[in-house]
Each structure stands twice: as structure tokens, then as C-alpha cells.
């Protein structure tokens, strides 16, 4: 299929055998973002300037979404960063600021799907397979990019099928201190309709980064050289297609859905895209991506067999990255029903011990869904009972919407208090039957 041009094959293989370079991005919506960027460039990058053995950091400027030195690639592996005495301060700084939410460690290619979605602060967004959370964190940042609007009307629902990974999402998102996200634990191929006062939610943007064989992560996961076999892709294609199909159903007219994998295999990529276009013929269209990524070198999707040149594939030797595949859909039909069919509703009730795959394609048994305590929003009596004292002590402005505060257990209201946006309060209140 000529996925890799013949004259690039040797460079492609050589890149796969090299460790992946360290990449990170600075959280763009913090008030001290520019101070963090200044520290990085003027203090922590100094060893690179004076070194004759280490290349200078490379600014990731493949998109206009990351102006002003927000994303960087270091030409050294994680092991090299850990072991280098002259980079000890940089290593400690990256770790510390990651914990504080000022920096996120994320692969360069992983940054691309949220960028092509062109997220605006008012968008309703769904991340169907959110763990390990780096892309969702990027989405949250996009929601908050308007400094004049600290609590945007938009939000992101981050879903993952695995309960333990959902708790990892909680830890990752807490760093960002945003009231505009919620986490859902459900099979992405059978996501339920979420209710609002205006009816079921249709999402403006959907990230469909599906479980895959992961052969594009060979540089990061060298064990895959031993584990990979052709059957991985074939066994995953059906679940990938089901997840993407449900995503199209939940997409609002005019909305965008990005389908992405860290696989190079056309069975998981173009074959799924082609099937979606056939299933939803006249209801969705494939969008051009390259004009959104002017600084990125890509190769088009298969055009000889499937005419999918508007998809993009990233190869590891082009920009010293992992391999990745991205396709962008726009929904153009207004009549497509988001409701689950009877067959799909029945499949929601099947045993929670079904087989699923993790990011590397490894098979495991999923634990049963965990029932969570309900969220209980503050009522007037709660506000008078203790919030008034708290707000006076900390000097919280009287305009603060205390009715958007909530707890998990009514009898223990003062121990852990959560704050969500008005939009998410509506969703949580009207969908209590889901947890």
C-alpha cells in the first residue's frame, strides 16, 4: 500500500529504533503562563545553550494554536533527562510544575487531535476514550482560552470504560482547577443520551481517540516489537467502528468529530473511516486537516484504493515523533437520530465482564461498573449553615454562585466541596439515574 515511500524506508526503520524525545506544553490559560515560559527559556534552557553535546530545544510550532513558545520538544529521551546532571534542575522543574498543572507532559502527535477540532469556549465536547487524559486536559485549556470569561459556558465530558483509569482522570484534571469537566465511566460504543432541559445533548465537538493496536508507539513501548501480531488490528476494528458510530450519532449538525489512533495500520484507520462514510452517506463529510496544521509534515490517507487523501498519517522519521493517524468529520445531516436502537439498548445491559483492550492492544477483563454516591447541590440551608462562614473567612465575593457547589454525601457536606459550571450543574441534576 506504500504507506511509507520507498526512498524513506531506511530512515523510517531507523527512527523506530530510537527512543522518543521528551515533549511538553505549558498550560495556556493561567495568569502566570508567561512567567512560566520566561523561566523555561531564560533559566532552565541555559544548559542547552552552553552544551556542545545536546541539541537546543525545538519549539513545536506546527499549529497557530500554539503561538508564543507553549509547546517544546527536547532532543533527548526520558532516561537521558533523568540521568543528566546538568539537566537536573530542568527535570525537577518539569516534575514540580506538572504536579501544579502549569505544564503537561504530552507526545507531540497526541497534541494534534484537539487542535484540529477548533474548540471554542461555548462548545459542548465529548471525549469518548479519555484516558490517560493528556488530550482532554488540552481540551479544557482550549475552553478557558478567553481570559475575560473565567467560567465558560462550554464543557467537556471525559468518558472511559475502565473505572481505575477514570480515577486517573480525576487526578489529572484536578491540576487544572476547572469547573468545566465531568468524568463518565461507560462503554463508549453504548454511551447513553444525556438529558438537559432542552432535550438530549448533541455535542459540538467529539474526540474519538479509540483503543488500537498501538504500533505507532513502538518508540515509547519497545516491548511491542515482541508482542505485535497482525491479529491485533483485525480484532479491534469492530469496537473501533462501534465507538466511532456512536460518536457520529451524538454529534450535533455542523459539529466536528476527530477519529484518531496511534496505529499505522489501514485496517484500524482508513478502513474504519471508509465504513463510516458508507454508513452515514450524505450525513457526514470528511474535512481537510492540513490547512489547520501549516507547520506539520504529513502524508495523505490512502487515495489509490479508498480516496481518503483528506486523512493524515504522521510517520516517526518526519518530525522525530511517534506515528499517528487523524481523520476529521463534519456532520451535515439534521435528521440523524442520536437515540440508541433497541438492539443497542439491550447490549448496554450485557455483562460488564466483556473483553476490552487497553491502549497497547493488550486484552484484559474489565471490572464491573462501580456505583457512585450521588452529587448533592447546596440548598439555601447549606449556604446559611456553613458556606457563609467560609466565604467570609476567605473573602469570597458575594456574587459567587454558591448554588453550583455540591458534595457527595448530604450528612458530610462540609468535608469535600466541589464547584461546577452552570451548564454542568444542569447535566448532573438531570442525569442522576446514570450513577
Alpha carbon distances (Å) from 357 to 65, 166, 236, 240, 366: 32, 15, 8, 11, 9
Distance of alpha carbon 273 from its chain centroid, rounded? 20
Residue 134 assigned to a binding site: yes
Q: Which residue matches cell numbers 438530549?
A: 200
Long-range contacts of 376-385 (CB under 8 A, 24+ apart): 376/406, 376/407, 376/408, 376/409, 376/410, 376/413, 377/403, 377/404, 377/405, 377/406, 377/425, 377/428, 377/429, 378/402, 378/403, 378/405, 378/406, 378/407, 378/413, 379/403, 382/413, 385/413
Kindly list the catalytic residues.
262
Q: Is 362 annotated as a binding residue?
A: no
> Considering Cα of 299, then 305, then 306, then 307, what sign does the dihedral take?
positive
160 labelled as ligand-binding?
A: yes
327, 210 contact by CB (below 8 A): no
Polymer length in residues for the chain: 435
Q: Is the backbone of residue 357 left (phi > 0), alpha (psi -120 to 50) or beta?
A: beta
Find out whether 131 is annotated in a ligand binding site: yes
Among all chains, which residue has been given the C-alpha cell 496511534? Answer: 262
130 appears as a binding residue in the annotation: yes
**Integer Cα distance of 92 and 95 in angstroms:** 5
Contact 73, 67 (CB under 8 A): no
Residue 129 is assigned to a ligand binding site: yes
- Find out whether 132 is annotated in a ligand binding site: yes
381 is in an annotated binding site: no
Whole-angstrom CA distances from 133 to 222, 362, 399 are 22, 19, 32
DSSP conformational letter for 418:
E
- What residues contact residue 280 under an 8 Å CB cut-off, 6+ apart? 248, 333, 336
Q: Annotated binding residues for S-adenosyl-L-methionine, as ranges? A: 129-135, 160, 187, 209
Which parts are annotated binding residues?
129-135, 160, 187, 209
Amino acid at each position: 500500500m506504500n504507506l511509507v515511500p520507498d526512498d524513506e524506508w531506511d530512515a523510517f526503520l531507523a527512527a523506530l529504533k530510537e527512543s522518543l524525545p521528551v515533549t511538553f506544553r505549558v498550560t495556556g490559560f493561567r495568569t502566570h503562563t508567561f512567567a512560566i515560559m520566561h523561566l523555561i527559556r531564560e533559566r532552565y534552557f541555559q544548559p542547552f545553550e552552553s552544551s556542545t553535546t545536546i541539541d537546543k530545544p525545538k519549539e513545536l510550532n506546527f499549529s497557530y494554536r500554539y503561538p508564543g513558545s507553549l509547546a517544546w520538544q527536547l532532543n533527548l529521551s526520558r532516561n537521558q533527562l533523568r540521568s543528566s546532571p546538568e539537566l537536573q534542575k530542568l527535570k525537577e522543574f518539569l516534575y514540580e510544575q506538572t504536579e501544579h498543572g502549569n505544564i503537561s507532559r504530552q507526545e507531540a502527535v497526541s497534541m494534534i487531535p484537539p487542535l484540529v477540532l477548533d474548540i471554542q469556549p461555548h462548545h459542548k465536547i465529548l471525549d469518548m476514550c479519555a484516558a490517560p487524559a493528556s488530550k482532554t486536559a488540552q481540551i479544557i485549556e482550549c475552553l478557558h482560552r478567553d481570559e475575560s470569561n473565567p467560567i465558560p459556558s462550554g464543557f467537556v465530558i471525559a468518558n472511559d470504560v475502565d473505572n481505575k483509569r477514570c480515577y486517573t482522570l480525576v487526578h489529572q484534571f484536578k491540576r487544572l482547577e476547572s469547573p468545566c469537566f465531568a468524568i463518565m465511566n461507560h462503554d463508549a460504543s453504548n454511551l447513553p443520551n444525556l438529558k438537559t432541559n432542552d432535550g438530549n445533548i448533541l455535542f459540538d465537538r467529539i474526540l474519538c481517540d479509540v483503543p488500537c493496536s498501538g504500533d505507532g508507539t513502538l518508540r515509547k513501548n519497545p516491548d511491542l516489537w515482541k508482542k505485535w501480531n497482525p491479529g491485533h488490528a483485525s480484532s479491534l476494528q469492530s469496537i473501533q467502528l462501534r465507538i466511532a458510530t456512536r460518536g457520529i450519532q451524538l454529534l450535533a449538525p455542523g459539529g466536528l468529530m476527530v477519529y484518531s489512533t496511534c496505529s499505522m495500520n489501514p485496517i484500524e484507520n482508513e478502513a474504519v473511516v471508509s465504513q463510516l462514510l458508507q454508513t452515514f452517506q450524505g450525513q457526514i463529510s470528511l474535512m481537510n486537516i492540513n490547512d489547520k496544521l501549516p507547520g506539520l509534515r504529513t502524508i495523505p490517507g490512502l487515495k489509490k484504493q479508498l480516496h481518503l487523501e483528506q486523512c493524515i498519517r504522521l510517520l516517526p522519521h518526519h518530525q522525530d515523533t511517534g506515528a499517528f493517524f487523524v481523520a476529521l468529520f463534519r456532520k451535515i445531516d439534521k435528521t440523524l437520530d442520536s437515540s440508541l436502537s433497541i438492539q443497542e439498548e439491550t447490549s448496554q445491559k450485557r455483562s460488564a465482564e466483556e473483553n476490552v483492550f487497553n491502549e497497547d492492544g493488550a486484552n484484559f477483563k474489565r471490572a464491573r461498573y462501580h456505583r457512585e454516591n450521588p452529587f448533592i447541590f447546596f440548598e439555601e440551608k447549606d449556604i446559611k449553615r456553613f458556606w457563609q462562614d467560609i466565604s467570609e473567612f476567605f473573602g469570597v465575593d458575594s456574587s459567587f454562585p454558591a448554588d453550583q457547589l455540591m458534595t457527595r454525601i448530604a450528612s458530610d457536606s462540609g468535608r469535600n466541596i466541589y464547584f461546577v459550571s452552570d451548564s454542568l450543574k444542569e447535566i448532573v441534576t438531570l442525569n442522576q439515574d446514570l450513577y
